[in-house]
Amino acid sequence: MAPKSESIADQIQWDALRHQASRFTYCLIDETKLGIGTAIAVKLEQRFFFVSAKHLIDNNHDLQILPRNSLVPVKSPDFKAKHCHELLDVGFIELNANVSNQFDFVDGTQLLEEIDIETELPTLVIGYPSQFIRSSKIQITSKEDLLTHRCDALVYRSIVLPKSEWPNNSSLCNSLECGTDILVDFKSEPRIKCLSPNTFSIDGQQVDCAKINPEGMSGGGIWLASVKEHNSGVRQSDARLIGIQTGYYNNIGLLKGLRIGVWLKMVKTAYPDL
């Protein structure tokens, strides 16, 4: 459980973890519906993937991915392939290598397939709520405009809920599987804490992060947060990807995700050479 008060050193470590995990998190845009969700950039050997929830990247969406340092989104002509799990809410887009330099990719060493589901695990959840996305037009020529987007990520820290605390009196419990699912406490203080600024200015209006609807955070990462202390006394932040967010249950304050091992098995089936 997160402490009610922390040292400055602890706050610095959490901030470092937030920056580390945020580097690999990107916003998905739909041509017809602005701000549909989030994806994680993952590199396996010489292949470049965006991992996300299946319901975001299926064929019902004309997707764009927003780089951080460019006004121009990467669009479907630069997608090499798209795969979705037959049964579970996870999938991926494979990116052409010639545009991969616009993104930062987490590598396979930072993916953690096995976790102790019986233990509270400190975690970060990151995503792009649709309220945080703004669009504007830049005039390129007298006859041509460029539609651009700006977005801000929302970052929370919490814990992976131990199996002993999983709900047993809701419709959610009937669909849960220990080997594939993760539940994150998204309600109980002091477990849950926003690491983003307390408010964002959106089109001149101050928006309270505590009142943000998590719609759009689906597809974002669930990151195990840890700090390694070396013999020299130096503390090193280490964020490892353990799951992908797939849904939020407001009535019980829980965020659901699929373990990253599910995705790894899926991608290795599609690409046996990995």
For 181-203, the pLDDT digits (tens) are 999 988 766 677 777 665 555 55
The pLDDT value recorded for residue 35 is: 61
* pLDDT digit string, tens, across residues 108-161: 999 999 999 899 999 999 888 766 666 666 666 667 666 666 677 788 889 999
**What's the CA gap between 202 and 134, in Å, rounded?**
8
Chain centroid to Cα 127, Å, comes to 5
Query: What are the sequence ranges of the domains in the chain?
Result: 8-270
Q: Which fold has domain 8-270?
A: Thrombin, subunit H (2.40.10)
CA dist., res. 35 & res. 50, Å (int): 16
Q: pLDDT (tens digit, 9 = 90+) per residue, 227-240? A: 766 566 666 778 99
Question: Is there a contact between 26 and 39 (Cβ–Cβ < 8 Å)?
Answer: yes
Of the candidates 70, 125, 61, 116, which has an alpha carbon nearest to the alpha carbon of residue 91? 61
Angle at 112 between CA 95 and CA 4, to 5 degrees: 115
CA 66, distance to chain mean position in Å, is: 14
Q: Residue 35: left (phi > 0), alpha (psi -120 to 50), or beta?
A: left
Q: From CA 272, how far away is CA 189, in angstroms rounded?
A: 44
